[in-house]
Structure 1
Amino acid sequence: MPMYRKSLLILLLIAAAVAGGTYYGCYTQDKETVQLDAASATDETQQEAAVTVYVTGAVNKPGVVSIKEGARAADAVNACGGLLPTADGDKINMAQVLKDGQQLRIPEKQEASNVQTAAKGAKSSSAATAGTKAAAGGIVNINTASAEELDTLPGIGPAMAQRIIEYRETEGSFSAVEDIKKVRGIGEAKFQKMRDKICI
């Protein structure tokens, strides 16, 4: 084979190798572009993440609902068909952001009323108990007694009872019954009158 033909063949082989390398580079670049598009789609899926919450109480359809991440309590209530006419919506912060796994309970107006009635009943019962103790000559614990119970002690009125409670809150519990004399307005004479009716 003549020399020029050998040179021409070598040049053709080199040209084919360069063309093949260029094609391979372009093909690889296209594949990377496709992978980036897929990653972008994953990001969009993450942005549309949801949280699951359990809504109970005075709503039309209580139960477990899935709502968009960052949604508010109002969104969860709407997903359950809205509030019942008996719902006490003022007791719930409808603007609060919900977290996954959270329980949201909507109280009824009657429940709120029952809680207030029970609190009033407990207060009346406490006052009645204090009166019964006084009548029965019970011993009053000066570290734990309420103002009403302290008021049953001889020489102690409502103002002095409040002073004893304030002393306990600022100085701490009494270590001995005699320490009650540290309260302003309680001297030896008052202490002797109540000595047999108090304990710690």
Structure 2
Amino acid sequence: MFKNKVNFILVVFVLLIVFIYYNQDPESVLDSGSESNLNILETGKMQDNINNEELDKKIVVHLAGNVKKPGVYKLNKNDRLVDLIKAAGGLKEKADLAKINLAEKLYDGQKIFIEEKIKIKPSSTFADPENEVNEKSVINNFSANSSLININQADQNRLEKLSGIGPAKAAAIIKYREQNDYFSRKEDLLNVSGIGEKTLENIRDEIVLQ
């Protein structure tokens, strides 16, 4: 009799515990650590969605030379060189503004080097012949490089100066550039209507990509 009474009390006690557990506030079941982890997971998932949506709107560009903070920058797809320079803290005093186009359109993977102004010493009767030769070499090299045509930036008239490129082919290059943003390789010119292997070889040494 006593044993049955004890068993009955134990059953009632267990039922009471179960009843209290299932009728408590659901929020109190989760500890603060669980809630924090949940928030982190949701935030991370939301961030991944944002990154996927904006992936095609961003470009990464390397800026070097005479800027205050050279480095690699992530920018909007439609940003120009002036926006990149602002992100880098501006130009140094020695930067040569005459050699850059602040309105230049940027593209992903591009590297831009801001050159320093070339100081040419005045001629002197006792000038060092070796230094004079070096200065002439620098000037000649710059002149040679500046004659190259940037197919990612050149306008119709500039493109027509390339060997074998007339108005129709120049217009086709600009059309391709507008549809594809930029040329990542010289060989991409083969995708332009009217330009074949022979034309590409004729202008390969006359063009640059940046």
Q: TM-score, normalised by structure 1?
A: 0.35
Q: TM-score, normalised by structure 2?
A: 0.34
Considering fraction of residues, name the structure with more helix. 1
